[in-house]
Amino acid sequence: MGTPQRVVVYGATGHTGRFVVAELRRRGVAPVLSGRDGARLARLAGQDDETVVRPATPDDPGSLDRALAGAAAVVNCAGPFAVTAAPVVGAALRAGLPYVDVAAEIEASLSTFTDHAVAARDAGTVVVPSMAFFGGLGDLLVTAALGDRTAADEVHVAYGLSGWHPTPGTRTAGQVSHERRAGRRVRFTGGALEYHDDVVAQRRWTFPEPLGRRAVVAGFTMADVVTVPSHLDVAEVVTYMAVDAARDLAGPDTPGPEAADASGRSDQTFTVDVLVRAGGTEHRASARGRDIYAVTAPLAVEAVQRILDGRTRSTGVVSAGAAFDAPDFLRALAPHLSVELPPVAVRRT
């Protein structure tokens, strides 16, 4: 039997990183633990002599090169991605490795698409930013809802979270984004990103049962405004967040997630509901599950396995919807996700 492929998890000691490490192990893939804090990495590895630990910092390209040496792929879980994404992508491209990250930062994700497109294409490798609950899941649902279509008039992605207990990493990333935008908000309209100071509006969104009709914040913009337009011709992408979850995130005293089972998952649940309007017709898809941080792990690891197995549709910097067969990918995530997708059209010859 050959040596198992190793996948580097950069930011392995973070909240999401630990879920990714556990998911790799569950699938029989050997993780390489990497990140900025060698002592924390060693504690995570524990007494397992087979676990490889390779500390590295974004400002030391040599350390990143050593961390990725001999690996098959890298998953970047270390925020803020405004700091880590470019250096880790660069190291992956130098090594000719696929790169996946779990960034929810809009500008960081956009920079990955714009700054590394040529190098990734020339290297013939796959770079998938925002392969996570925010950015990746919505993009897969939108792509599945559209079927063979590559254009839409409007895309709406509504997040029905039972609550949001943000991790320290989420708070840090939010602060970085806030400072980067000078306090402005961002939206995707008229086929482009636009910064604005408009007042936040509330709407009502009818989610699939049992969630039903809920108050949401309209224009609570997430990484879907980068991933969806990266491969679909669309003029308007609007994302919504359940009001209670938005209040949790805004509250400075809201505690972080607490484990409710042996896997470390919290008891927070979610429904992601997608509505796409194209050519006078409406198309819907939705997904339900538990713990927005924990579900990012099977999303990212499924992406890595499909890349390594050659089950991708393109190379270069691509979103989840462009890289993979969206309906098949989503269904493969059971039991982590329960999805409702449009029926597959039968072509008649």
Three-state SS letters, 242-277: EHHHHHHHHCCCCCCCCCCCCCCCCCCEEEEEEEEE
Beta strands in the chain (DSSP E): 6-10, 30-35, 52-55, 73-76, 99-101, 126-128, 151-161, 185-189, 192-196, 201-206, 213-218, 233-242, 269-278, 281-290, 316-317, 337-340
Determine the pLDDT at residue 343.
81
User: How many residues appear in the chain?
Assistant: 349
Exposed / middle / buried, residue 41 (Cβ in 10 Å: 0-12, 13-18, 19+): buried
Confidence label for 276 from pLDDT (cuts 50, 70 and 90): very high
Determine the pLDDT at residue 346.
36
| Structural contact between residues 266 and 165, judged by C-beta atoms closer than 8 angstroms | yes
The pLDDT > 90 percentage for the chain reads 92
pLDDT tens-digit profile of 111-137?
A: 999 999 999 999 999 999 999 999 999
Confidence label for 3 from pLDDT (cuts 50, 70 and 90): low
How distant is the alpha carbon of residue 155 from its chain centre? 18
What is the C-alpha to C-alpha distance for residues 105 and 107, in angstroms, rounded to an integer?
Answer: 6
The pLDDT > 70 percentage for the chain reads 97
- Residue 345 in this model has a pLDDT that exceeds 50: no
pLDDT tens-digit profile of 303-315?
A: 999 999 999 999 9
Describe the strand order of the beta sheet including 6-10 as a list of residue ranges.
Answer: 52-55, 30-35, 6-10, 73-76, 99-101, 126-128, 316-317
Determine the pLDDT at residue 4.
66
Determine the pLDDT at residue 348.
36
pLDDT tens-digit profile of 174-216?
A: 999 999 999 999 999 999 999 999 998 999 999 999 899 999 9
How distant is the alpha carbon of residue 328 from its chain centre? 17
What is the C-alpha to C-alpha distance for residues 22 and 1, in angstroms, rounded to an integer?
Answer: 23
Nearest residue to 229 via CA among 318, 345, 96? 318
Helical H segments across 96-167, by residue range: 106-115, 117-123, 138-146
Question: If you average pLDDT over every residue of the chain, what do you get?
Answer: 95
Determine the pLDDT at residue 50.
82
Kindly report the backbone phi and psi dihedral angles of residue 147, in degrees, each rounded to the nearest multiple of 5, phi listed first: 65, -125
Determine the pLDDT at residue 11.
98
Confidence label for 344 from pLDDT (cuts 50, 70 and 90): low
How distant is the alpha carbon of residue 332 from its chain centre? 16
Domains and CATH numbers, the chain: 6-132+297-325 (3.40.50.720), 133-292+328-340 (3.30.360.10)
Determine the pLDDT at residue 347.
35
Provide the residue type at 61 as one letter. Answer: P
